Amino acid sequence: MSGSGAYEVLIDGQPMRCVDAVDRGFQYGDGTFTTITIREGVPLFWPLHLARLERDCRQLLIPFPGVEHLEPDVRTLCAAHPDGVLKIQITRGIGGRGYRLPEPQRVTRVLSIHPPPDYPSELREIGIEVRLCENRLGINPRLAGIKHMNRLEQILARAEWTDDAIREGIMLDTEGYVVEGTMSNLFLIKNGTLYTPKIDRCGVAGVMRSITIETALQHGMAVAESRITLEELFAADEVFLTNCVIETWPVRRFGHRTYGVGPITQEIDRWLRTKAENEQVAAFNG
């Protein structure tokens, strides 16, 4: 990512950069977040990100602040910084020491906009090299799918390598099944079918993951969510990764296995590019 800081930060609608030291997001990672690409002043797939935030808040028993509070903040930041990456964090707010939920709950919303990533654009054409992470994801169906603010598993996994030639790490759960990348969702293609790991026990149900599944189905492709083993991943015809910032990265090499950039991955990437281009205005302006 180009630069480490944010262009601008709004906390509960006010320009500032510091949350209270007793905010539960800081104290316990008690919150959820989403990350959105901003292109020409438009937050791509805004309705899906908004729905994900609301769903995750509901699952975490955090009062959702509502579109009437979030959307003005988003518009303010996007108008000032029309190209970048927007991060929206919603925490349970200020609370006393201990795990008991505060009464009443007054959520904190933090919106920060960051420079666009400096990933080489050709990665979508030539693919990337990935590695297998030693750190594994704990199984917890209660938190499965949620993009909560405790990312220690991913942080420790990403700390396993410093080689810039390796762009991503593949994470397994504690039973040895493939789940996702440290910052991405994973797809593989075998005999013309698109497979992706189930996110019912751990992992993040990414917005771009849902868009990819929906788009593939709209184009008549067979799609399956399943438990995927390492052996099945190595045996795949094609592999690619998604998130809302990178969009699509084909996997060129994983350990001893070389995949190349396959024709179905290229076709899916074209579908997703077209979807983003066609929907970016409608996504925010209706």
Separation CA 44–CA 221 (nearest Å): 24
Phi and psi of 78, rounded to 5°? -70, -35
Q: Could you tell me which residues are beta bridge partners of residue 243?
A: 247
What three-state secondary structure class fits 93? strand
Point out the residues that are catalytic: 35, 147, 180
Residue pair 89/109 in contact (Cβ under 8 Å)? The answer is yes
157 contacts 212 by C-beta, under 8 angstroms: no
Q: Is the peptide bond before 104 cis (omega within 30 degrees of 0)?
A: yes
CB of 34 closer than 8 Å to CB of 150: no
Q: What is the rounded CA–CA span in Å between residue 187 and residue 212?
A: 9
Q: How far is CA 59 from CA 20, 55, 101, 123, 214, in A?
A: 24, 6, 14, 35, 23
Give the length of the chain. Answer: 286
Measured CA to CA, the distance from residue 241 to residue 188 in angstroms comes to 9
What is d(CA 139, CA 202) in angstroms, rounded to the nearest whole number?
5
H helical segments located in 36-184: 46-60, 67-80, 123-126, 152-158
